[in-house]
Amino acid sequence: MKWRSLIIAALRSIARNKLRSLLTMLGVIIGVGAVIALMALGRGSQADIQAQIAGLGTNLLIIHPTSSQTSGVRAGSGTLNTLTMDDVALLDTNAALLQEVSPVIRVQEQVIAGNSNWNTQINGVSVSYQAIRNHVMESGDFFSERDVKTRNKVAVLGKTVANELFPGQNPVGAQIRIRNVPFTVIGVMQSKGQSSMGQDQDDIILSPWSTVLYRLSDGKTVRTIMASAVSETQMEEAKAEIRTLLREAHRIPPGGDDGFDIRDQSEINEMLTRITGTLTMLLSAIAGVSLLVGGIGIMNIMLVSVTERTREIGIRMAVGARPGDILLQFLIEAMILSLIGGLLGILAGVGGASLLGKVMGTAIMVSPLVIFGSVAFTAAVGIFFGFYPARKASRLNPIDALRYE
Amino acid sequence: METIVLRDLKRTFAMGDTSVHALRGVSLTIARGEFVAIMGTSGSGKSTLMNLLGCLDQPTAGDYFLDGVHVSRLDRRQLADIRNQKIGFVFQGFNLLPRTSALENVELPLLYDRSGRIADPQRQALAVLEQVGLGDRVHHEPARLSGGQQQRVAIARALINQPAILLADEPTGNLDTHTSVEVMAVFQRLNAQGITILLVTHEPDIACYAKRIIELRDGLVVRDEPVAAPHLADRDLLTWPENGSVTGGGRP
């Protein structure tokens, strides 16, 4: 039995019933298409998120106090569960693995400019914060060390705040009032867009930490410390260093609770990747079910085909086809049917994904692995669901098959 | 040189509780180059004998030697190979693959030929089609061929593997008398070239073109004798009445 003639015979019999073959393939086409489109969407959004996180700075470390500070009972003598400017200074001078350190003092306030007002978040930070978060200025300047030292009442606006308070104008040089304290706008930052968590990263005002801490906040509490490690590859070492320094400064006995938490982007990255990965898998599994249904469709049609072609099977057996030859013939036919369906499905999937990506505005990533995987899977579907009909055909009695009307 | 040797061949079918004895013990010897007609009414067991001779079925008891091979104890796979190598079938209903050209129909047995005896399948197919007088219709599909032409394609298909025997099961059953005689002329010509032919028929007019007639009744051979003077199909065709009715008594 020659493979070439087997494949030609299978293609011929598929071509003989074009409409029926196409309808049979439809299940596989939709199944494969859906799997590929969803995987492409899922991977695309994963890549989107990763790119955004990388935009934040991959060497970013965020230190914030844990909630244990609220359960006062747990605080032993000498423990300090909040972060202070002393901690910032300590890390800035003593941590060898940290490049930049900045406090973040966070105040939510109503901001007034002329006759418009806007509720936003005012972050008191140090000069190095611009470098840590990769903020690029659209107009004006970021504040300077001198501003920090003199607790200057200057403000750098995020794009959203600038648009809300000064629609259609350049706010640089203008005055805004935060809790009746007048601030001078000295710069506007370029838009950073939404964060991976869906927050507007431009709805923000940056001011020198000293100004915010002593004029707007309680003069003591630092909500968060942001730092950049010297290298992406030394994140864990940097974390360990911070932990040692802070535990020492806070005089936490060995075995005691840190009272603070250090996060880097890789954790957030991992978490988000896991979430989108789970979602992608879930959706793909649903799409996979339709692939399964498609396979059953192929089995159904192959069974019909075996019955319809009983006489042909009889003829082939009479002229010397072994049962194995008949089995192979129908198996190959089922496989080709599902493979063609799979190939059309890949086209449908890639096309559908790019269409969806355009409509939804998300990135699309078609991975070759998924394509190879689905081709292999459809071939397996063909073999699996083609086997029963093919075996049925091969077990026909040649005499009965020849007499079949 | 014996091509077929049957020794006390029996075939019993179980039909629920009862068993039907289709063949009750048939012993036969057919030599190479013979042209045998197997006759009998329906229920005589001639179809069962045909299936056994064609290796489509296995006997319940007895021995069957085909071209020196003891085929009565082979499995399905080996039987398939025997059918492929040693037997050529011609059926009443032609049994050609629809929507497949005459050439491809004829090549079909070579698709399953594992011996590689025939080096160039297409050339061999063209040669046998020429042999049955269809050299000019090789690319026609069965639907575009007449009954007689279709049966000649079937004969070509039966010949392509150079079989030891050619088995024809009521080959003229679906044909009018003139075409039937034409087909018999093909058989006689092939037989003259040395091909062993077994023909199953219930029509005495057809059987008389053979050289030997075996008659079955109730699963036993009741008559086995040579035909004294077989009709010559070619001559009958020459003297065929020009305006002779096809369905009437035009048969010689």
pTM above 0.90? Answer: no
| Cβ atoms within 10 Å of A90's Cβ, excluding its own | 17
In chain B, residues with a C-beta closer than 8 Å to the C-beta of A16 are: 99
By Cβ distance, the residue of B54, B95, B111 closest to A2 is: B111
**Contact in structure between B152 and B187 (CB atoms under 8 Å):** no
Cα angle value A112/A114/A120 (rounded, 5°): 25
Interface of B with A (CB under 8 A): 51, 54, 56-57, 76-77, 80-81, 83-85, 89, 91, 95-97, 99-100, 108-109, 111-114, 157, 161
Give chain B's length. Answer: 252
**Contact in structure between A118 and A110 (CB atoms under 8 Å):** yes
How buried is B91 (Cβ within 10 angstroms: 0-12 exposed, 13-18 middle, 19+ buried)?
buried
In chain B, residues with a C-beta closer than 8 Å to the C-beta of A314 are: 95
By Cβ distance, the residue of A2, A319, A322 closest to B108 is: A319
Compute the count of residue pairs across chains A and B with CB atoms less than 8 Å apart: 63
Q: Tell me the pLDDT tens digit for each residue of B19-33.
A: 889 999 999 999 999
Shortest CA gap A396–chain B (Å): 11
Nearest residue on chain B to A4, alpha-carbon basis? B111
Q: Tell me the pLDDT tens digit for each residue of B201-249.
A: 999 999 999 999 999 999 999 999 999 889 999 988 988 876 554 444 4
Shortest CA gap B58–chain A (Å): 11
User: Quick check: B89 and A2 CB within 8 A?
Assistant: no
| pLDDT of B252 over the 70 cut | no
In chain A, residues with a C-beta closer than 8 Å to the C-beta of B80 are: 317, 320-323, 325
Q: Both ends of chain B: CA-CA distance in Å?
A: 34
User: Quick check: B91 and A402 CB within 8 A?
Assistant: yes
Nearest residue on chain B to A315, alpha-carbon basis? B95
In chain B, residues with a C-beta closer than 8 Å to the C-beta of A398 are: 56
User: What stretch of H or E contains A195?
Assistant: none
User: Quick check: B112 and A315 CB within 8 A?
Assistant: no
Residue A56 phi/psi, 5-degree rounding, is -70, -20
User: Quick check: A319 and B97 CB within 8 A?
Assistant: no
Q: What is the pLDDT of residue B239?
A: 87
Q: Tell me the pLDDT tens digit for each residue of B61-112.
A: 999 999 989 998 898 999 999 999 999 999 988 899 888 899 999 999 998 8
Candidates A319, A327, A328, A404: best to mutate against B (most CBs of B within 10 A) is A319
User: Quick check: B89 and A321 CB within 8 A?
Assistant: no
Per residue of chain A (405 residues), what is the pLDDT tens digit? 578 878 888 888 888 888 988 988 888 898 889 888 888 888 888 787 777 776 666 788 888 887 544 444 554 444 445 788 888 888 888 888 888 899 999 899 899 998 888 999 999 999 999 888 888 899 999 999 999 999 999 999 999 999 999 988 889 999 999 988 999 999 999 988 776 566 788 899 999 999 999 988 888 888 889 898 888 778 888 888 988 888 888 887 887 777 888 888 777 777 777 888 888 888 888 878 888 888 888 888 889 989 988 999 999 999 999 999 999 999 999 999 888 999 999 999 999 888 888 888 777 888 888 888 888 888 888 888 999 999 999 999 998 898 887
In chain B, residues with a C-beta closer than 8 Å to the C-beta of A313 are: none
Shortest CA gap B206–chain A (Å): 23
* C-alpha to C-alpha distance for B62 and B11, rounded to whole angstroms: 9
Domain-wise residue ranges, chain B: 2-11+20-238
In our burial notation (b when 16+ CB lie closer than 10 A, e otherwise), range A264-301 reads bbeebbeebbeebeeebeebbeebbebbeebbebbbeb
By Cβ distance, the residue of B51, B100, B157 closest to A319 is: B157
Q: Both ends of chain A: CA-CA distance in Å?
A: 27
Q: What is the pLDDT of residue A81?
A: 54
Q: What is the pLDDT of residue A60?
A: 84
CATH of domain B2-11+20-238: 3.40.50.300
* C-alpha to C-alpha distance for A156 and A346, rounded to whole angstroms: 50
Of the candidates A154, A228, A214, the one whose C-alpha atom is nearest the C-alpha of residue A188 is A154
Whether A331 and chain B come into contact, CB under 8 Å, resolves to no
Candidates B97, B104, B166: best to mutate against A (most CBs of A within 10 A) is B97
Q: Helix or strand or coil: residue A260? A: strand
